[in-house]
Amino acid sequence: MPKDDNDSFIRKIPGFRSGKTWKMVLASIFYLFAVLIIISVFIVPNNSGGVQSSVNQTLNTPGVINQSSNSSAIVNNSPVQTQSIIISYSSTVENEIKYTIGGYPYTIQPDSGKVFLVVNMTIKNEGYDKFSVNPFYFNAIVNNIQYGYDSNSYYLVNYLESVDVLNNGTLTGSLAFQIPVSDSSSLLNLTYNAPFVSYNIIWSKI
């Protein structure tokens, strides 16, 4: 009986020549694995390329890429919003505070061994909704000693009142501190400490 052509062809394939079942099973698994590798090498890149093309097409869709570019431009070109409180100040040493009430002159003397350090300030708010000004928030540091404001500041001609300086607002005022006479020529630094809030303060000594 003549052999079938298909059977003859299969007999020529490595793994099927002997006709043993276990060899044919192993050969079938090997050839299937080889086919899968070929598919992954030649077909998957085409699919991923198609996905990439789809993504590029989406990005190049009118309006989409322009919106992204415009958004980036707005962010990159928008002015940086800086917030700061600029406080310029100068100081003088006084042996007394003079004031008048009803046309009558009065004089206030500092405590023994002390002088009045009168600090004149100009406060400008640049960017904050408001800046809270209160004499209690300001301290003078002289020779590494911190002093709170003196209540006699109220009698100064331009007493620094408790107010809120709104954005772009400017306030001028003065506060007095009592410091030892021996420190009257020492370097002055001012600090501001308000509860539950912080500001970017730029100090400028005139």
Q: CATH code at 179?
A: 2.60.40.1240
Do 88 and 49 lie in a common domain? no
Q: How many Å apart are CA 116 and CA 134, to the nearest integer?
A: 19
Q: Are 172 and 150 in contact (CB under 8 A)?
A: no
Do 38 and 20 lie in a common domain? yes
**pLDDT tens profile 31-50:** 787 777 877 766 644 444 44
Structure confidence at residue 126 as a pLDDT band (50, 70, 90): very high
Do 46 and 89 lie in a common domain? no
The pLDDT of residue 46: 47
Question: What pTM value is reported for the model?
Answer: 0.60
Q: Are 151 and 199 in contact (CB under 8 A)?
A: no
Q: Which residue has the higher pLDDT, 22 or 153?
A: 153
Strands 188-192 and 138-142: antiparallel
| Ramachandran sector of residue 143 (left: φ over 0; alpha: ψ -120 to 50; beta: rest) | left
Domain boundary among 60, 77, 94: 77
Q: Are 179 and 115 in contact (CB under 8 A)?
A: yes
Do 132 and 151 lie in a common domain? yes
What mean pLDDT is predicted for residues 3-32? Answer: 68
Structure confidence at residue 17 as a pLDDT band (50, 70, 90): low
Q: How many domains in the chain?
A: 2
What mean pLDDT is predicted for residues 101-118? Answer: 95
Domain boundary among 61, 77, 93: 77
What mean pLDDT is predicted for residues 45-73? Answer: 43
Q: Which residue has the higher pLDDT, 110 or 53?
A: 110
- Return the SS3 of 79: coil
Q: How many Å apart are CA 133 and CA 70, to the nearest integer?
A: 42
Structure confidence at residue 169 as a pLDDT band (50, 70, 90): very high
What mean pLDDT is predicted for residues 158-180? Answer: 97
Q: How many Å apart are CA 152 and CA 117, to the nearest integer?
A: 11
Look at residues 204, 205, 124, 102 and name the one whose alpha carbon lies nearest to residue 172: 124
What mean pLDDT is predicted for residues 93-101? Answer: 94
The pLDDT of residue 79: 54
Structure confidence at residue 171 as a pLDDT band (50, 70, 90): very high
Do 193 and 103 lie in a common domain? yes
Domain boundary among 77, 104, 131: 77
Q: Are 161 and 124 in contact (CB under 8 A)?
A: no
Instruction: Give me the percent of the chain exceeding a pLDDT of 70.
Output: 71
Structure token digits, residue 123: 């406060």
- Quote the domain boundaries for residue 161: 84-205
What mean pLDDT is predicted for residues 152-167? Answer: 96
The pLDDT of residue 37: 80
Strands (E), 40-169: 84-94, 97-101, 104-108, 114-126, 130-133, 138-142, 145-148, 163-166
Average confidence score pLDDT of the chain: 80
Structure token digits, residue 95: 């042996």
Do 71 and 96 lie in a common domain? no
